[in-house]
């Protein structure tokens, strides 16, 4: 009896999945650190070389980080891999630009718009419903089955994110928990924007995973960032940026921020998408608020209560749940004819 390795399954099973989870987790770690840096610059607590950096708007910070990443990535690829590293058909470039514009840029823009109109808590809660949309799409398209571990993993990812951001607490003197509305502002436009942000993030994971499965991830990344940069210019054109008169320190911070919040983490994330299916990838991305809370507690002295710690544990449990392979993934061998 001959036994052969199934090459079609090897990329997304065993070591491949472990590497995929590690890449997504690394990306979310960088995003968690970036969230703390962003919070520091928003509140005027960021210093470079002892100089205090004036506050930068969330819109400009989101725009500059992807634009700078694109401007750095193009010459880097040309120097290391030559002109062929950027070659794609016009249709494929358009597909990548769609991921950048309607996935990355849209999720950022509508998230920050939701924060402006509602609150950070509301925006995060609604944006982290994205794993639900991804699973629904994958099931509807017949690309995945709604297995109990997968359903439970997605549900736990959403619940854990809600607990981790601190809007659930204990009633004084009572044994039950309560859902705090003091940090919520259910503005209709803001809630709608947060849901659009969730859909955009789901679209990025599904369509982005499709693109990296058929194209070199570096090409997908550079043209996605290019589409993202163009999308931002439509929202915040150059003359508005010039009129803001940003200081040298602000520009330096935005350059460094783009490296640690986009260039490095998206390299990890696109590699993770290449190794994982969209549901596993986006559930694992729910580790971002976990890292953000931990870094904020260590760097900014923000307190973390027991409920938030429970949320962290729930999110970690969710990432373990979606790792459980299905039956066909466990069958990593093809049994040939008996000799």
Q: What are the distances in angstroms from CA 29 to CA 33, 36, 81, 84?
A: 6, 11, 28, 32
**For residue 139, pLDDT beyond 50:** yes
Task: Give the rounded distance of the alpha carbon of 336 from its chain centre.
Answer: 42
pLDDT at 165: 65
pLDDT above 70 as % of the chain: 77
* Segments in 172-216 forming alpha helices (H): 188-214
7-23 per-position pLDDT tens digit: 333 345 567 788 888 99
And the tokens for 7? 């090459």
267-286 per-position pLDDT tens digit: 999 999 888 888 888 888 87
Can you count the helices (H) and strands (E) in the chain?
Answer: 17, 6
Max CA pair span of the chain = 78
Closest residue by Cα to residue 203 from 287, 320, 110? 110
What secondary structure letter does DSSP report for 215? S
**For residue 4, pLDDT beyond 70:** no
Cβ atoms of residues 322 and 279 within 8 Å = yes
73-95 per-position pLDDT tens digit: 999 999 988 888 888 999 999 99
Q: What are phi and psi of 186, to 5 degrees?
A: -80, 60
Terminal Cα distance for the chain, rounded? 6
Q: What is the pTM of this model?
A: 0.75
**For residue 334, pLDDT beyond 50:** no
Domain count, the chain: 1
State the residue range of the domain holding 223. Answer: 3-335
Rounded distance between C-alpha atoms, residue 46 and residue 55, angstroms: 8
Cβ atoms of residues 120 and 253 within 8 Å = no
Closest residue by Cα to residue 227 from 126, 106, 51? 106
pLDDT at 121: 62
Closest residue by Cα to residue 127 from 146, 118, 295, 313? 118
Rounded distance between C-alpha atoms, residue 311 and residue 112, angstroms: 23
Rounded distance between C-alpha atoms, residue 273 and residue 16, angstroms: 11
């Amino acid at each position: 009896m001959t036994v052969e390795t199934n090459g079609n399954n090897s990329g997304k099973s065993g070591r491949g999945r472990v590497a995929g989870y590690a890449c997504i987790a690394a990306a979310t770690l960088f995003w968690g650190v970036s969230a703390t840096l962003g919070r520091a610059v928003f509140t005027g607590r960021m210093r470079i070389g002892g100089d205090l950096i004036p506050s930068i708007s969330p819109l400009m910070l989101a725009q500059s980080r992807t634009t700078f990443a694109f401007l750095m990535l193009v010459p880097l690829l040309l120097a290391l891999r030559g002109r062929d590293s950027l070659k794609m058909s016009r249709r494929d470039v358009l597909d990548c630009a769609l991921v950048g514009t309607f996935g990355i840029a849209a999720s950022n823009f509508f998230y920050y718009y939701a924060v402006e109109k509602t609150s950070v808590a509301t925006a995060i809660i609604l944006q982290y419903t994205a794993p639900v949309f991804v699973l629904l799409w994958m099931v509807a398209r017949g690309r995945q089955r709604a297995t109990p571990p997968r359903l439970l993993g997605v549900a736990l990812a959403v619940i854990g994110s809600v607990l981790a951001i601190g809007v659930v607490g204990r009633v004084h003197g009572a044994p039950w928990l309560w859902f705090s509305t003091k940090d919520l502002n259910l503005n209709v436009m803001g809630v709608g924007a947060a849901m659009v942000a969730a859909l955009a993030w789901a679209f990025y994971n599904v369509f982005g995973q499709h693109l990296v499965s058929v194209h070199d991830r570096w090409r997908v990344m550079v043209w996605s960032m290019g589409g993202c940069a163009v999308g931002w210019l439509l929202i915040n054109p150059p003359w508005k940026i010039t009129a803001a008169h940003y200081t040298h320190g602000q520009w330096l911070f935005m350059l460094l921020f783009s490296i640690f919040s986009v260039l490095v983490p998206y390299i990890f994330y696109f590699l993770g998408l290449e190794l994982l299916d969209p549901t596993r990838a986006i559930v694992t991305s729910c580790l971002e608020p976990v890292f953000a809370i931990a870094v904020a507690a260590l760097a900014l002295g923000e307190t973390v209560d027991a409920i938030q710690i429970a949320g962290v544990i729930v999110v970690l449990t969710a990432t373990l749940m979606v790792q459980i392979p299905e039956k066909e993934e466990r069958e990593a061998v093809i049994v040939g004819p008996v000799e």
